[in-house]
Amino acid sequence: MRSTFLLTALVAGPLFLAAPAEAALSPDELKKLIETIDERQRSTGDYKALCYIEQKEKDKNDIVRELVVYRRDADQKLMFLFTKPKSEEGKGYLRIDKNLWSYDPNVGKWERATERERIGGTNSRRSDFDESRLAIEYDASYEGEEKLGAFTVHRLVLSAKAGIDVAYPVVKLWVDTSTGNILKRQELALSGRLMRTAYYPKWNKLFSDSKKSDIWFPAEIRIYDEVEKSNSTLVLMKSVDLHSLEANLFTKAWLEAKSR
Amino acid sequence: MGSIVSIDNVVKEYHLGKVIVPALRGVSLEVHEGEFISIAGPSGSGKTTLLNLIGCVDTATSGKVEVAGRDTATLTERQRTSLRLDTIGFIFQSFNLVAVLSVFQNVEFPLLLQGRLKAADRKAQVMSLLDQVGLSSHAKHRPSELSGGQRQRVAVARALVTEPKLVLADEPTANLDSATGQNIIDLMKALNQRRGTTFIFSTHDAKVMSHANAIWQLADGKILGKSGPVAGAPIPAEARP
Amino acid sequence: MIGHWVVLVQIAFRNLFSSFINLVIGVIIAVGTMLVVVGGAMLDSLDTAMSRSITGSLAGHIQVYSAASKDELAIYGGMTDDPSLAAVDDFPKVKRLLLGVPHVKTVVPMGINGALLMSGNTVDLTLAKLRGAVKARDAATASGAPAADLAEQVDSQKAHIRQIVKVLVEDAAKASVLADSHAVDDEAKQALATVSTEPFWEGFDRDPYSALELLENKIAPLVSDADMLYVRYVGTDLDAYQRAFDRMQVVDGQPVPAGRRGFLFPKFQYEEQLKLKTARRLDRIKEGLTESGKTIAGDSELQRFVRENQAQTREIVLQLDGLKTRTALARLNAALHSNETDLPTLLTRLFTTDDQNFMDRYRIFYEQLAPLLELYRVRIGDMLTVKAFTRSGYVQSVNVKVYGTFEFKGLEKSPLSGVTGLMDLMSFRDLYGYLSADKRDELRVLQAASGAKAVARENAEAELFGGGGPVVAEAKEGSIDEKAQLSGLKKAKKSEDLVARIYTPGEIEDGVVLNAAVVLDDPKALPQAIKAISELSAKEHLGLKVESWQQASGLLGEFVLAAKGILYFAVTIIFVVAVVVINNAMMMATLQRTQTLGTMRAIGAQRSFIVSMVLLETLVLGLLFGSAGAAAGAAVMAKLHATGIGAWSDAVYFFFSGPRIYPSLGAGNVVAAFLIILVVSVVSTLYPALIAMRVSPVTAMQAEE
């Protein structure tokens, strides 16, 4: 064993040295990078965001919606309430444990959905609006440094940890080397097929009294469907409100009451 | 009396594959109206071929065949058929009656083809001929109900019903016993004498040919000669069966 | 000349019976004619039956739809998804004008759409009932109304859940015995342990919603029998529809009351897809034994049903609460003379069937067990939640009451027509979700306010990151008031109100209609009516596409065409065979008669005479034996008309348009058969006639050896 290792090191060593002088991240640095991404977006108190989603599909009218996203990250609570257009009013999603429930006030029914639920039939997923839990859900590996437009980025590959239910088992990230923000994200199915490409051109930060630091959130996400190539989704976080929410807000009853 | 059949240097060849078989090799003869003529000769001597040419059912390879004054080579198939219908009567070796028709209908058949007479006239004509061949009582019978001699009598009646100028008979007695054959020849002779119809018949039976006015001896596709109407006349060696 | 023909006819007639070959030909002709008469009459009867099934069920005689439609209409569904149709402009006007066209009896508005019905698993459904019961009880209590009945309902549902929990705990125990550690994880085991305790249920009523949440989120996901079902439906003016289409009949329940929203399930689908699977399998085994003459011992499919019933007892076990489980045990033990305490084991014993005991077990199931069960996932009278992607792109759900099931007479067993339900036009429109001008404006305003700009996929990276400008910005905290965002319109629109509401005919007709069925008073007037409607549409600028029911019925129409094609093909084959056989026989007959033919030619018959003679002979043969065959065919048809023919398989059932067809014979069938047989006779004799014509008169001179 030992001799094999030595041999490999002797043979491979010069190759490593010959590789371009990249600022390769050590495993510790990599871990830190991912944790920073999560930490920046974490909100210790309650969190409420007004979002706009626009779905474009070939030969179809644009589908636009506004919704309010409610988060209480400490309890892993998440809820969506659609507010516009009128036909969507009062519809919503509520996450409880591993269950994502969707509600339609027209029929007064709750349905259990999965992690892969297309929010409102768009290319966006629950995870696009929720707190970032990359370090908990995925194992990261470093792939190198490259250019993305005018930016220098780290390219990372994340694979889902065993036993954790995520929408996509493999995620590729392009992280701005200077600011540590995700600029591009690709998600792949287990088969290796590329499913979505998302861009994060605008990151906003907001000071939180309870966190005593900034909370970061992507003000704009552009998602391109890689299966139905003509479909794309734009998510805009129009404003974020960090006031505390009602205690019983993350319940079916609360969402039901909004349309009664 | 005028000539009813005139044959001049007629050659008839059959093609059997690539082999050309000469059946007649330059035959010339003349038959006058009212004659009762026998063509004699052994099998394969060209008797039937000669009758086919005279009967307009076949055409010569070369030479000239005139029947009732018409050059058969110049006629269309249709015209030759009409010539047969109106001018020539046929008597066949195996009678050749239409099995599904009655005696009366068989005799009536040529008249129907002619389409000239009305039904009543046809009936009279047919009955008169059946009477002459002695079969008026068998008019409604089918040919299969008759004996060979009776059938040939019906054939004789059929051949004569259109009152043709010429009757051709190919070995008319070959399928009959000699007494019956004699009967048929007698009938033909009687009709020849009574109506003046020209008869040409082929035979290789010396007794039969003895009734003829004249005998054309045929051998190997050539006329050997014409002998006179002498009963018991010596038969050329070649003509013997 | 007349004599000429007389002899021809005479010869022909006399020849008929003179030759054995003629007799053979005659028999062929007779059989052929009989087949044509019977086949033609059957074909016509089937065509009429199938046509009536289709025109009388959904299609009507004529379908009209917008000429601006992208796809072709396919009433009974096409090869792919349902076609995309544009809406008819101003249906009331179209209807008024079309009713003025001669022979038009009714015009029924329609629209075809499809939706996925999602249903949670057994636990989800039971918990939803429990939640509903709790809510109703609490509301009654709060308003001071008597709530004893409602409390009882809550208790009953609670008992059911407790029984399910008990089954799940047993499952978990079995799984751990099998060392199947993946089946139930620790968290689930813990949750199961919690809800199995007495204190949990004692405390239930103190905080029912928390308890429900635990059950809904921890327990329900453990069961994986959730189902979804594709439902295709025709939205229509149900009153007008029921009056105009006589083939539709309600099987269970009742028609949708006049002016109401409502849904009728197709019986075929209701049985095939909504019935308790075990019960459906029992039905199919019984059908196999009694109708198709199969045996369990001899049929692998029936054996599979038996095996599945033995193994899949869970759907029954989960349906029963504690009390019903005990009742079921008692009843089945009595019926099977056993003393079993475990219901799954007892059920497996019940479903262990062979050809001897099956009918008995079938009876036990329906008499003893079925009354304790919900035999159908959706009951008549239930509220059905239909969720569809609307044409505007948004998802829309509608609650619609199931009033009953229906079938189309003659198409009962057709999987094509048997999966199309009937819905009221108002619900259809909600689900179809046409993008109205109002809504378009609303979306435009929303889009403009967002300030979103489009970035094409191809140059997204260059456009978003090419400039290298700052990515990070400081945000100002906003205050979001969801009450201000919501317009509150929702409060006016309650689904219970919609279900109870009665719509006027005007309301029903004035709205989106995708296609309309035109029913005529005389089906024979179809071509004129199509022409008249097309002209009217052009003149009045109605923009309609006008199609006959054959064109409009999609796959089903194509099936009818294909079926006819197959039958015609079979008839054609019979005739080709007949032509060949007759031709051969006539050739033989001709060759046998060369001497006679030669004699006739020698005697002076022209070639034309010979040809006429031979042809006339076959014609006479054809007429004579054809008549005999036609008479035989007519006799067969008379018998079939009296007794009918039973359908021996589902495919035949479709062709027969019912369990039994009583075919009838039309004069046209006989005439057609005669014409066909004469043509066939003559055609098959042409070559023999040619040969006969060519027979040389020389033949006559050749002595018969």
- Beta-strand pair A194-208/C472-474: parallel
Residue B88 maps to a domain: yes
For the cut 90, the answer to whether the pLDDT of residue A15 exceeds it is no
- In whole angstroms, what is the distance from residue A81 CA to residue A237 CA? 14
Cβ of residue C609 closer than 8 Å to a chain B Cβ: yes
Residue C73: its pLDDT value, please?
82
Q: What percent of chain B has pLDDT over 70?
A: 94
Give the closest-approach CA distance of B193 to chain C in angstroms: 23
- In whole angstroms, what is the distance from residue B186 CA to residue B193 CA? 10
Measured between alpha carbons, how far is residue C432 from residues A111, C233, C236, C538, C660 in Å? 21, 11, 13, 28, 39
CB-based contact B109 C6, cutoff 8 Å? no
**3-class DSSP state for residue B214?**
strand
Residue B166 maps to a domain: yes
Residues of C in contact with A55 (CB under 8 A): 393
Residues of B in contact with C18 (CB under 8 A): 99-100
Run of H or E residues at B107: helix B103-114
Cβ of residue C437 closer than 8 Å to a chain A Cβ: no
Run of H or E residues at C108: strand C104-119
What 8-state DSSP symbol labels residue B119? H
**In C94-118, which positions are buried (b, 16+ CB within 10 angstroms) versus exposed (e)?**
bbebbeebebbebbbbbbbbbbebb
Residues of A in contact with C387 (CB under 8 A): 104, 107
Residue B239 maps to a domain: no
For the cut 70, the answer to whether the pLDDT of residue A40 exceeds it is yes
Please give the average per-residue pLDDT across B23-43, as a whole number.
89
Residue A20: its pLDDT value, please?
43
Backbone angles phi, psi at A198, to 5 degrees: -125, 145
Give residue for tokens 């010429």: B166
Residue B1: its pLDDT value, please?
58
Residue A65 maps to a domain: yes
Run of H or E residues at A82: strand A77-84
Q: How far apart are the first and last CA of chain B?
A: 33
User: Residue A6's pLDDT band (boundaries 50, 70, 90)?
Assistant: very low
For the cut 70, the answer to whether the pLDDT of residue A165 exceeds it is yes
Cβ-Cβ contacts under 8 Å for C12 (sequence gap 6 or more):
C613, C616, C617, C619, C620, C621
Residue B157 maps to a domain: yes
Residues of A in contact with C378 (CB under 8 A): none
- Select from B92, B140, B160 the residue whose CB has the most chain C CBs within 10 Å, as the one to mutate to test that interface: B92
User: Residue A12's pLDDT band (boundaries 50, 70, 90)?
Assistant: very low
**pLDDT tens for residues B74-94?**
999 999 999 999 999 999 888
Residue A5 maps to a domain: no
CB-based contact B93 C600, cutoff 8 Å? no
User: Domain boundaries in chain C?
Assistant: 2-54+557-701, 90-118+226-272+383-435+502-525+533-542, 122-225, 276-375
- This complex has an ipTM of 0.90
For residue B22, is the peptide bond before it cis, meaning its omega torsion is within 30 degrees of 0? no
CB-based contact C701 B122, cutoff 8 Å? no
Residues of C in contact with B87 (CB under 8 A): none
Residue C493: its pLDDT value, please?
56
Residues of chain C with pLDDT under 50: 180-181, 492, 704-705
- Select from C11, C599, C613 the residue whose CB has the most chain B CBs within 10 Å, as the one to mutate to test that interface: C599
- In whole angstroms, what is the distance from residue C697 CA to residue C279 CA? 83
Residue A11: its pLDDT value, please?
44
Neighbours of C178 (CB within 10 A): 9
- Select from A57, A68, A107 the residue whose CB has the most chain C CBs within 10 Å, as the one to mutate to test that interface: A107
CB-based contact B110 C15, cutoff 8 Å? no
Q: How far apart are the first and last CA of chain C?
A: 36
Residue A54 sits in a domain whose CATH number is 2.50.20.10
Residue C189 in contact with residue C172, Cβ under 8 Å? yes
Residue B238 maps to a domain: no
Give the CA radius of gyration of chain B.
18
Longest dimension (CA), chain B: 54
Residue closest to A208 by CA, chosen among A18, A42, A89:
A42
Q: Where are the alpha helices (DSSP H) in C291-321?
A: 300-311, 314-317
Domain count of chain A?
1
User: Residues C481, C487, C492, C498: is their CA dihedral positive or negative?
Assistant: negative
CB-based contact C387 A104, cutoff 8 Å? yes
- Looking at chain A, which subunits does it touch, using at least 3 CB pairs closer than 8 Å as the criterion? C
- In whole angstroms, what is the distance from residue C553 CA to residue C50 CA? 12
Domain count of chain B?
1
- In whole angstroms, what is the distance from residue A221 CA to residue A183 CA? 9
Please give the average per-residue pLDDT across B139-159, as a whole number.
91
Residue B141 maps to a domain: yes
Residue A139 maps to a domain: yes
- Looking at chain C, which subunits does it touch, using at least 3 CB pairs closer than 8 Å as the criterion? A, B
Q: Where are the alpha helices (DSSP H) in chain A?
A: 2-18, 27-41, 126-129, 134-137, 252-257
- Domain of residue A77, residue span: 31-257
Q: Which of C213, C392, C457 sits opposite A224 (nearest CB)?
A: C457
Cβ of residue C703 closer than 8 Å to a chain B Cβ: yes
Q: Chain B to chain C, count of Cβ pairs less than 8 Å apart?
A: 96
Residue C1: its pLDDT value, please?
53
- Select from C181, C459, C465, C489 the residue whose CB has the most chain A CBs within 10 Å, as the one to mutate to test that interface: C465
CB-based contact B52 C3, cutoff 8 Å? no
Residues of C in contact with B170 (CB under 8 A): 701
Residue B24 sits in a domain whose CATH number is 3.40.50.300
Residue A15 maps to a domain: no
Please give the average per-residue pLDDT across A99-105, as a whole number.
88
For the cut 60, the answer to whether the pLDDT of residue A3 exceeds it is no
Give the closest-approach CA distance of A198 to chain C in angstroms: 10
Give the closest-approach CA distance of B120 to chain C in angstroms: 12
User: Residues C40, C41, C42, C48: is their CA dihedral positive or negative?
Assistant: positive
Residues of B in contact with C697 (CB under 8 A): 57, 81, 84
